Amino acid sequence: MWKTIMCSPRTAEPVQLILLDVLGSWPEHSTCTSDGDETGVFGLTATVVMWKILQVPCVPRVVRPYFPRLLVHLLFQVFFSTEEMAEEVDIFWKGCQEEHGLATSPNRFAVQTLKSLLCRMQHEDVVVAMERRCGWDTLLCADTHHCAVGLLARRMCCVSIPLCSRIARYLLRLLSTQEPRWELPALAFLVEVLKWLDLSECGVNRVLQILSRQLQSECRERRRLALRALLKLTDDPCMTKNMQSLTESLVELLWDGEIVMMTVMLLNSIILDSDRLLPSPITLQLLEALLPLFDHDNSQVQLISILLFQTLVTHPEEKAKKDLKTPLRKSLLPLFFHCHDENERVAQASQETLLCVAEFLKRRDLERLLKSKKLWKFAEFLLAEDRSRAAEHLRQALRYLESPQEPLREAAMKFMGMAGRRLRGQQQELQLICTAWAIFHHPEAARSAAQGMEDSASPVGARLLHCQMTEEES
């Protein structure tokens, strides 16, 4: 029957379109028969029909025009049948196994059909390459399905870029019209072939709208794939200019430690290539979000964050200058400490950014010290300008005592000694900070602070610290 249907030009195309429609509809949308019967087995039924059709000799000529859509729908069929199957589907499948002698599960059968399709389209190399990388087994696990789809996309690119471009255009069409459960595998394929797309033909705004929606997803993996896609698109300057609308969504992702590297890289590319200034509320939000990243474990994240901070300071909106002073003042001490960073690029970027901040704040005295490389004089001026903030500076310095870098720990201890000299009359403040934290972890820092208090004629506070340290040592 199927040989007769598929070898007849009059019936082959209509039947193929019906099968595609059924495969693409299940289980996201209701599909019912002419007599009103409605069930969830139709997608699997269509897969069984496709498997039988692929055994017919005349199939390649009939299937080739629909190959991209058919490949996508079979991939999704693997995904759906890997999830928990409804009871009616399970009953149907047992019947199929008895009738056709299929000793396999529904998802493995869908993979088998997919492999048959690739072989009939003369893509045996793709099937073998996936086998070598255990790609087919990876496809059968719900948690790793999207990884296998990405691998398949990379192998397909080695075979035919035009074909992958056709598949990508179809995925874009689906992603722009629906919000299906299979967005994750669809994105995984799209990311790998995105660079081969003619974006002017696909519509730049449509692509960005799809990726923007993924950035706001609750699924971290979808956010990560969207960032990967956007980073690939930054190779095109025209695309980068259009991405500025995504800035606010990207700023919110800076709090996600697992994707912070990609996020900060993308923000850096967007802002550097943009010929428009960021709106002041977003600039302020971004500056606040970048501050904690100065102390990130990854030196590349540190470097890009500091350089991006510098760019924002150098080119702010005129009306935003007053609001930016608060985060810029907060940045002075972290930037000062990172001027001592073991990573030379981070240290250099910190010095340059610190100078930009001093210029923005119109602190000519600080500018002169920074230009003459008198960093410790800079620290003294910072403490001297507002004695009431010495305790706050001391609190900021405490976290650098935990740094894995010896130069930063030494700088923190020296700064604490300087702060101690400024805390005359605030012995209780200094005692609470140092005894609660520094003495237990870094007695050298406490001694440095105590020495600072002695030098500043604060013997009471110094004695308190020495007593606390003696008790701890005993």
What tokens appear for 32 in the block? 């019912």
pLDDT in tens, 83-105: 766 666 777 778 878 777 776 78
Q: What gap in Å lies between CA 334 and CA 473, rounded to an integer?
A: 31
pLDDT exceeds cutoff 50 at 469: no
Max intra-chain CA distance, the chain = 104
pLDDT exceeds cutoff 50 at 442: yes
395 and 433 Cβ atoms separated by less than 8 Å: yes
Grade residue 395 by pLDDT with cuts at 50, 70 and 90.
Answer: confident
Q: Please report the pLDDT score of residue 472 as a whole number.
A: 45
User: Is this structure's pTM higher than 0.85?
Assistant: no
In the block, tokens 């610290």 appear at 465
Q: Considering Cα of 349, then 355, then 357, then 359, what sign does the dihedral take? A: negative
pLDDT in tens, 14-55: 877 777 877 776 444 444 444 445 455 777 778 888 888 888
Of residues 388 and 433, the one with the higher pLDDT is 388
pLDDT in tens, 203-215: 788 888 889 989 9
pLDDT in tens, 116-131: 999 988 999 999 999 9
Name the region of 442 (left: φ>0; alpha: ψ -120 to 50; beta: rest). beta
Identity (one letter) of the amino acid at 85? M
In the block, tokens 């009306």 appear at 319
Of residues 464 and 449, the one with the higher pLDDT is 449
Average pLDDT over residues 378-384: 81
Average pLDDT over residues 161-170: 89
Q: What gap in Å lies between CA 96 and CA 92, rounded to an integer?
A: 6
Q: Please report the pLDDT score of residue 207 as a whole number.
A: 87
pLDDT in tens, 210-240: 899 899 888 899 999 999 999 988 887 777 8
Question: Phi, psi (5° rounding) for residue 348?
Answer: -65, -45
138 and 111 Cβ atoms separated by less than 8 Å: no
Find the angle CA(74)-CA(98)-CA(27) to the nearest 5 degrees.
30
Q: What gap in Å lies between CA 291 and CA 286, rounded to an integer?
A: 9
What tokens appear for 135 in the block? 């790609």
Find the angle CA(12)-CA(13)-CA(16) to the nearest 5 degrees.
85
Q: What gap in Å lies between CA 157 and CA 163, rounded to an integer?
A: 8
pLDDT exceeds cutoff 90 at 464: no
Average pLDDT of the chain, as a whole number: 80
pLDDT exceeds cutoff 50 at 459: no
Of residues 315 and 168, the one with the higher pLDDT is 168
Q: Please report the pLDDT score of residue 178 as a whole number.
A: 61
Query: Any idea which of 293-307, 336-350, 362-376, 411-425 has the lowest mean pLDDT?
Result: 411-425
Average pLDDT over residues 53-61: 77
Q: Which candidate, 280, 255, 385, places its Cα nearest to that of 333?
A: 385
Q: Helix, strand, or coil here: 32? A: strand
Q: Helix, strand, or coil here: 286? A: helix
Name the region of 378 (left: φ>0; alpha: ψ -120 to 50; beta: rest). alpha
Grade residue 139 by pLDDT with cuts at 50, 70 and 90.
Answer: very high
What tokens appear for 9 in the block? 């030009």
Q: Please report the pLDDT score of residue 124 as a whole number.
A: 93
376 and 412 Cβ atoms separated by less than 8 Å: no
pLDDT exceeds cutoff 70 at 462: no
Q: Which one-letter DSSP state was computed for residue 436? A: I
Q: Which one-letter DSSP state was computed for residue 256? A: -
Of residues 149 and 52, the one with the higher pLDDT is 149
Average pLDDT over residues 416-433: 63
Find the angle CA(111)-CA(113)-CA(119) to the nearest 5 degrees.
105
- Which helix (DSSP H) or strand (DSSP E) does residue 60 occupy? helix 59-63
**255 burial class (0-12, 13-18, 19+ CB within 10 angstroms)?**
exposed
Find the angle CA(293)-CA(299)-CA(301) to the nearest 5 degrees.
45
